Amino acid sequence: MGRRSWFLFHSMAAKYPEYPSEDDIQAMHNLVATLGQLYPCKLCRLHLREQLRDPSLLPVTFSSRTETTTWWCKLHNIVNADLGKPQFDCNPFALDLVYLKDCGECDPRKKAPKSSKTGGKLDGPRTGPWDSYLYSRDELLFSSVKTPGDQLIARDISDLISAMTVFNDLFGVFSKSELRLVEAEITESPELRNKWFDELMIRLGPELEVFRVEEDDDEDDDDWDDWGEESERGDETHRDEL
């Protein structure tokens, strides 16, 4: 995969959080999956897809920085073994000595006049909290997030749109054009999400009622089976007494 690529992956693992969030864990999984899908060298990509199935790499756990650095080192050694190259020491301390280096706090952007700064941060469309979950699902919605409050609302919107899409695939409660309209309206005006949530529940009402009826029938069957078993036990007890 190339020395520069490996240095990047090991360095990312070394700087991985000690206590990663769910977004951190998912992002690392996504990185590995992306390499298997899009790594530019075709032959390397095919080999990597096989190597990622190696039992020593499974299950994949990125629940801590140590687990993550060790996992990437194991993968590197599997690749090296296939190529007849030397193995690396996967001791976490040894890995940190090589890859846990301070990259500095440099800012490659040109220095702007102090009057154009607010609180040391750039103003304009590029400001706002980072959210890998939102970015991976809807880049335009992500770009509208400027504050933590916006972030919470945007996640609600994204989840609602996803739920509506899933239910639409299952039950066809919206036409495709209507679903696109819903998505545009909710994205542009978060206040409308309650309206469309209510509309979704109204349209799903008949389908959800069917599920409830079937669930009640299953419970009745279970009750009948339980009664039958108790009745049989009672008969056996009566015969024993006789």
Q: Which long-range contacts (CB under 8 A, 24 or more apart) does 159-168 make?
A: 160/186, 160/193, 160/196, 160/197, 160/200, 161/186, 162/137, 163/200, 164/196, 164/200, 167/200, 167/204
Residue 118 pairs with which residues in a beta bridge? 121
- How far the first Cα of the chain sits from its last, in Å, is 81
Question: Which two three-digit tokens encode residue 21?
Answer: 């969030």
Q: Are 9 and 74 contacting, i.e. CB atoms less than 8 angstroms apart?
A: no
Enter the CATH code of domain 3-99.
1.20.120.310
pTM of the entire predicted model: 0.68
Question: Which two three-digit tokens encode residue 112?
Answer: 């702007």
The alpha carbon torsion through 71, 77, 80, 81 (nearest 10 deg) reads: -130
Angle made by CA atoms 185, 134, 72, in degrees to the nearest 5: 160
DSSP state of 127: -
Going residue by residue through the chain (242 aa), what tens digit of pLDDT does each one get? 688 999 999 999 999 999 999 999 999 999 999 999 999 999 999 999 999 999 999 999 899 999 999 999 999 999 999 999 999 999 999 999 999 987 655 555 555 445 444 444 555 678 899 999 899 888 888 888 889 988 888 888 888 888 888 888 888 888 888 888 887 887 777 777 778 878 878 887 777 776 666 666 556 555 556 656 666 665 555 555 55
Question: Which two three-digit tokens encode residue 29?
Answer: 């999984």
Q: What burial class does residue 205 get, using C-beta atoms within 10 Å of its C-beta: 0-12 exposed, 13-18 middle, 19+ buried?
A: exposed
Residue 121 pairs with which residues in a beta bridge? 118
Cβ atoms within 10 Å, residue 142: 21
Query: What are the structural domain ranges in the chain?
Result: 3-99, 126-230
